[in-house]
Structure 1
Amino acid sequence: MTPAPPTPAPGEPSAGWIEGREHVLPVRIYYEDTDFTGVVYHGNYLRYFERGRSDFLRLAGVRHAELLDQETPSAFTIVRMELDFKAPARIDDALQVRTTYDRVKGPRLFISQRIVRGETLIAQAAVMAACIGLDGRPRKPPPGMAAALSPFFAPDADV
């Protein structure tokens, strides 16, 4: 059973919502997101994907600041990201960043993401992140984090 997403506090921006295993984050394309041709600049997709991963964690009850405040502080680093651009996004487009945390193996988190405009796939990413200590060394994610994410992993995931 997927936990119900928390309701944002008044005045707090929405962190999207969760549908089954997938987090959905709406993104509007503004003029500042585009290049001189009116198409979204390719580097901005990395920002949208980052927002999707972070807001998924937030809705699952995992907050970056709290990870740093633990007795043994933890953070994340991206170790690998494979991107495929399928169609251009343009100014005023209403997109959705769709994110799934697929599994955790040791310090690594495997994440699938896609950006869509309606039924059109704009971009997709396969991401491998690693949990690290403040010394930069890999470490297993804190037990509370793994427990918060486990309802969202693929049914056959190694945890």
Structure 2
Amino acid sequence: MSAIHTFPIRVYYEDTDAGGIVYHSNYLNFAERARTELVRELGVSQRDMLEEGEGTAFAVRSAHIDFLRPARLDDLLSVQTEVTSIGGASIELDQRIIRADDGTELVRIGVRLGYITLSGKPARIPAPVRELFAKRISERR
């Protein structure tokens, strides 16, 4: 299993502004879809987390975004996600959005996820889930 999770995204008309350039907030949507697919690939059911006990979920605690170059209508993008660290109740990831045909890096996002109960209180990430994420920590660090 590679340390970098890759998720393809096609830019549709609905993702763009009047000039055919991806509207800035849509990059967050692209990154969220990629993180969701990473969790699914690890075998973690977010639905089960929500429905068991008092319910838990990962929530974005912070995000730092660098917009380097624009994506445009019909571009095929690749969202690359790397797990960089895991704490008791948080996970940090680096995400890069790249134009697939030429490898141009368009956006960098540093994300910190908190693990919380549905009432908003921090919770410890279950050991089996932490172990799954630990296997994905990038060795490039």
**Residues 85 and 145 of structure 1: is their aligned pair in 2 closer, same or farther, counting only changes over 3 Å?**
same
**Offset of residue 46 of structure 1:** 0.5
Q: Distance in 1 between matches of 2:93 and 2:67?
A: 17
**Residues 81 and 99 of structure 1: is their aligned pair in 2 closer, same or farther, counting only changes over 3 Å?**
same
Equivalent residues in 2 for 1:1-159 (5 A)? 2=1, 20-117=2-99, 118-155=102-139
Residues 47-103 of structure 1: CA deviation (Å, up to 9, x unaligned): 000001110010011121011233352111111100000111000100000011222
RMSD: 1.6
Quote the residue 1:13 is aligned against.
Answer: none
Residues 12-35 of structure 1: CA deviation (Å, up to 9, x unaligned): xxxxxxxx1011110001111110
Q: Structure 1: any 5+ residue segments left out of the alignment?
A: 3-19
How many positions carry a matched residue from both structures?
139
**What is the identity, as a one-letter code, of the residue corresponding to 2:43?**
G
How high is the sequence identity, in percent, across the aligned residues? 34
8 Å Cα contact 1:101-1:152 kept in structure 2: yes
Q: Report which stretch shifted further, 99-108 or 66-75.
A: 66-75
**What is the identity, as a one-letter code, of the residue corresponding to 2:115?**
C
TM-score, normalised to structure 1, is 0.82
TM-score, normalised to structure 2, is 0.92
**What is the identity, as a one-letter code, of the residue corresponding to 1:133?**
T
**Offset of residue 155 of structure 1:** 4.7
Q: Distance in 2 between matches of 1:148 and 1:70?
A: 19
* Higher RCO by CA contacts (8 Å cutoff, separation 6 or greater): 2
**What is the identity, as a one-letter code, of the residue corresponding to 1:90?**
R
Q: Distance in 2 between matches of 1:110 and 1:41?
A: 25
